[in-house]
Structures are given as structure tokens and as C-alpha cells.
Amino acid sequence: MFGYIKPFVPELKVRDNKLYGAVYCGLCKSMGKTTRFYSRAALSYDFVFLSLLLSSLRGKPFEVYTGKCGLNPFRKKLIAIDCDVLRYCSAASAQLTYYSVLDRIRDERGLKKLSAKLVLPKCRKMKERAKRVYPFDDKVPEELLEKLHMLEDEKCASLDMTSDLFGELLSYYFRCGAPDDKARTASLIGRSVGKYVYAADACDDYEKDKKSGAYNPLLYGEGTKADKLKSAFGAMCIWADRAAGELALEGCEGHEFDISDNIMRLGMVDTAKKLAVSDEGRKNKKHGKRSL
């Protein structure tokens, strides 16, 4: 369900793009140290964004060094030095990866379900290691996910209701990583980002879920597919704008803020456009016509 919170690279300054890459690599290395080396397979853009956001809210810029990546040991690159923010985001990633695998076991069938069961023990160990970094309260995600599963079992047609529960889930992890005086802002941003991620995933998986029979709120209720995707696009743009507005109200400065702002105001909207274009819209896009 993750991987939709990305920057809009054409509008990033060169130095900001380099910092984004450094944080990405730094988070990967931190995950290896904090929640076991195999947790790095769960690295996603979403937690790079969370790292930048928390750094901006804390007012502590990342420090970087020139090092090498294990996947490309012959090329040196900028890497963010391990710090509290990266370790916290490594722990939060491990927690949500564990619950994501549980969700796959619940929803998938065949080989996909089997593969999820096979990786679950590793994910459980990641989750245990995460608690050494931060004492997460397991009751919060478990209760929220239980409520979400109830709505899914009822075939709820409301994207707002279902996405709201996932928004509350991310709100918890955003809030826990922020300083006390910025916790409310982090919570509000996390809620909007969570709602966006859930809607983005629903748009992205529309055809796959329709074929497999898996739950997707966009498959229920009245209206055509195109109408539902356009409605989801509008909602995603609103949630992205709300998140950006909350961060702007804090008056943060620095490169971490600039990248976070780019992600919310431009990157999330760009991704929403790509996901919410209907089949007819894709045909129009190929011919240079506007689809939305």
C-alpha cells in the first residue's frame, strides 16, 4: 500500500534532489542497523518523506557524508548520517510493514498469501526490534485495523470512511516521532497523508481488485469508474493541500522543509493524476488531450 508519496523531481533544486537521495540511502542503512538488514527490503518513499518532515519539525537538518552503497560499491554518493529521526522512521517502517503483511495474508490468495506467511516471522522480529527504538502501543494500530476490516467486510462504499481509519493509523506514527510542541501538526499531516495513501492504493488497484474480488471502496456505490476516479482525484488533491498547509503554518525553513513541501504540493498531486486517469483518459493522454 505504500510508495505513493514521492517528490516532483522536475521542480526540485539540484541540491534538494541530492539531499533527498542522501536521506533515502541514510534511511536504508539505518534500517539495516535498527531493525535487521532484511528490513531494508521494505524501504519506501513514504518513510523518506516522514524522515524529512520530522527533521523539518524538529529544526535539525540532516548531516551527510560521502560513502558507498552495497548495491553499487564502485560509486560514491551522499548519505545522511544515522540519527534519531532515521532510527525512528526505521522503527515505524518495521511496524507498518508487519501490519501490511498481516493484511496481505488476510486478503490475498494462492502464492501471494503463501509468500506473505513465509515472511511474517521475519517481519515479527523487525517489529520487536522496532520497540527498542520507541515503545509503540500495539493496541492503537490493531484497533484501527480491526475497524477498517469490519468496514471492508461490510463492503463499505465510502472512500472517506475507510480512508479515515487508515489516516488515523498514520497519524499515530507521525505524532509519535514529532517533538511535543509539534505533535498536533504532525498528527494532522499524518491523517491527511494516510487518507491520500489509502485512496491512491484504491485507484491503483481498481482493475486488479475487480478481477480478484478483493475489497475496494471504488467498486461499490453508484457512478461509473471514470466518475469515481475523478472524485478520488479531487479528494486526494484536497488531502495533499491540507497536509502542506499544516506544515506551512509552522513556519519551518530549510532544505528539508522545501523537499517536504514539494512532495505534498506537487508530487502527491502529480501521482494522483497518474492514478486517477480512466482508461478513456489514458487514450486521450496518448493523443495529447487533457483527461481531467
Query: What is this structure's pTM?
Result: 0.91
What does the alpha-carbon distance between residue 167 and residue 172 come to, in Å, rounded to a whole number?
A: 9
What are the extents of the domains in the chain?
A: 9-271
Mean pLDDT by 10 residues, the chain (292 residues): 88 96 95 90 93 96 90 85 96 94 84 88 93 94 95 94 96 96 96 96 92 91 91 96 95 93 97 78 38 34
9-271 in CATH: which number?
A: 1.10.600.10
What does the alpha-carbon distance between residue 269 and residue 256 come to, in Å, rounded to a whole number?
A: 19
Spell 77-98 as b/e; 16+ CB within 10 A means b: ebbbebbebbbbbbbbbbbbbb
**Long-range CB contacts (within 8 A, 24+) of 40-44:** 42/93, 42/94, 42/97, 42/126, 43/93, 44/2, 44/3, 44/93
Residue type, 280: E
Q: What is the pLDDT of residue 1?
A: 58
- Could you give the angle at which helices 225-249 and 255-262 cross, rounded to 10 degrees? 160
Q: Which helix (H) or strand (E) holds 189?
A: helix 183-204
Q: Which helix (H) or strand (E) holds 24?
A: helix 14-34
Q: What is the pLDDT of residue 178?
A: 96
